Amino acid sequence: MTKQKKIILEVVRSSNIHPTADWIYEQAKKELPDISLGTVYRNLKLLRDMGEILELNWGSTFSRYDGITENHYHFVCKKCGKIMDLHLRFNISHEAVEKAASINVESHRLEFYGACTSCDQD
């Protein structure tokens, strides 16, 4: 656990905007002015593999990161791109999928799309 990795984890955990690698890099620079973007990418990948953060890479040309690792879903505003956490449960049965396709299901991801309240006014 280098100081770079620690700062990167702190930045992701303390933000609720599901930041991009670039945003994380800018924030980390405030603490460690010499940190490089390559280090940010390397550590984000390590932290993701360690299960400390989530990488969100759906429906976009770039990844966003989430410091909340417990299972939850997301809402994405199609207009402004904002991502919101949804702590809701649905009855999504892995068994039903396994029966239908004879596969071994480990996890699932669910994402909702639409317009957020501030964008909906336009």
Partner DNA sequence: GTAATTGCAAATAATTTGCTGGGTG
Partner DNA sequence: CACCCAGCAAATTATTTGCAATTAC
Unique residue bearing structure tokens 């699932």: 108
Distance of CA 54 to the CA centre of its chain: 5
Restricted to residues 5-34, the positions that interact with DNA (CB under 7 A) are 5, 20-22, 32, 34
Pick the closer one to DNA by CB: 13 or 45.
45
Pick the closer one to its own copies by CB: 6 or 109.
109
What one-letter code names the amino acid at 97? Answer: V
Residue 37 interacting partner from its own copies, DNA, none (CB closer than 5 to 8 Å by kind)? DNA
Cβ-in-10-Å burial (0-12, 13-18, 19+) of 13 comes to: middle
Task: Tell me the three state secondary structure of residue 33.
Answer: coil
Pick the closer one to DNA by CB: 1 or 101.
1
Distance of CA 41 to the CA centre of its chain: 14
Pick the closer one to DNA by CB: 2 or 14.
2
118 CB neighbour count, 10 Å cutoff: 11
- 20 secondary structure, DSSP code: B
The tokens for 58 are 């759906």
CB of 3 to its own copies, least distance (A): 29
Residues binding its own copies (CB under 8 A): 57-60, 75, 77-78, 84, 86-88, 90-94, 96-97, 100-117, 120
Residue 20 interacting partner from its own copies, DNA, none (CB closer than 5 to 8 Å by kind)? DNA
Q: Which residues bind DNA (CB under 7 A)?
A: 1-5, 20-22, 32, 34-39, 41-43, 45-46, 57, 61-63
